[in-house]
């Protein structure tokens, strides 16, 4: 893949074995396009959520669109105080507008694999939280605060069925 800072733009096939892969508290993310390609280019990632993994209730200004490839996960859709879990299966597309509260969980016995399309900003956030300095949770919370991301309290997570 050409370097992301290259002045010359070249159409190319992405080799998924040659891209950056990071782990974020269980789920892994492969950057199919670099979050350093510019603010107007989408950041496209392949995410794998292992069985039992949870992404707690949170929100951020960055929209996210998930295209499920294999396995099954559940996504939490919130509207005010109302919420419901939506099963996301292969072929389904689950869209999260910027600012919407949401959470994810994989209660199946198989990994859930999806393509995630979002902003370069959220890609850089993932890169930063995957390389903690000091305590990983404190690093995550400080980084999320710096980015302006909201994270639910343990009580708010419990209210929607997350531990």
- Reading across the β-sheet that carries 93-96, which strands appear in turn? 21-23, 28-31, 43-49, 112-118, 64-70, 93-96
Q: What percent of the chain has pLDDT over 70?
A: 95
Structure confidence at residue 132 as a pLDDT band (50, 70, 90): confident
Q: What is the pLDDT of residue 1?
A: 46
Least confident of 30-39, 50-59, 113-122: 30-39
Structure confidence at residue 56 as a pLDDT band (50, 70, 90): very high
Residue 69 above 50 pLDDT?
yes
Q: What is the pLDDT of residue 78?
A: 82
Distance of alpha carbon 145 from alpha carbon 31, whole angstroms: 23
Q: What are phi and psi of 6, to 5 degrees?
A: -65, 135
What is this structure's pTM?
0.88
CATH architecture of the domain 23-159 equals Sandwich (2.60)
Distance of alpha carbon 115 from alpha carbon 159, whole angstroms: 28
Overall average pLDDT of the 35-48 stretch: 90
Q: What is the pLDDT of residue 155?
A: 96
Question: Which residue, 25, 115, 29, 114, is CA-closest to 72?
Answer: 114
Structure confidence at residue 8 as a pLDDT band (50, 70, 90): low
């Amino acid at each position: 893949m050409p370097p992301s800072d290259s002045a010359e733009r070249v159409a190319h096939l992405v080799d998924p074995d040659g891209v950056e892969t990071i782990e974020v508290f269980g789920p892994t993310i492969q950057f199919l396009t670099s979050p350093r390609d510019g603010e107007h280019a989408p950041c496209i990632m392949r995410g794998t959520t292992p069985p039992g993994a949870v992404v707690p209730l949170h929100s951020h200004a960055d929209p996210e669109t998930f295209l499920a490839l294999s396995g099954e996960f559940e996504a939490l859709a919130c509207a005010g105080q109302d919420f419901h879990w939506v099963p996301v299966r292969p072929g389904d597309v689950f869209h999260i507008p910027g600012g919407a509260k949401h959470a994810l969980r994989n209660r199946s016995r198989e990994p859930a694999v999806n393509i995630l399309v979002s902003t370069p900003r959220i890609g850089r956030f993932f890169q930063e939280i995957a390389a903690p300095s000091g305590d990983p949770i404190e690093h995550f919370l400080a980084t999320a605060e710096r980015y302006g991301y909201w994270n639910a309290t343990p009580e708010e997570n419990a209210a929607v069925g997350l531990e």
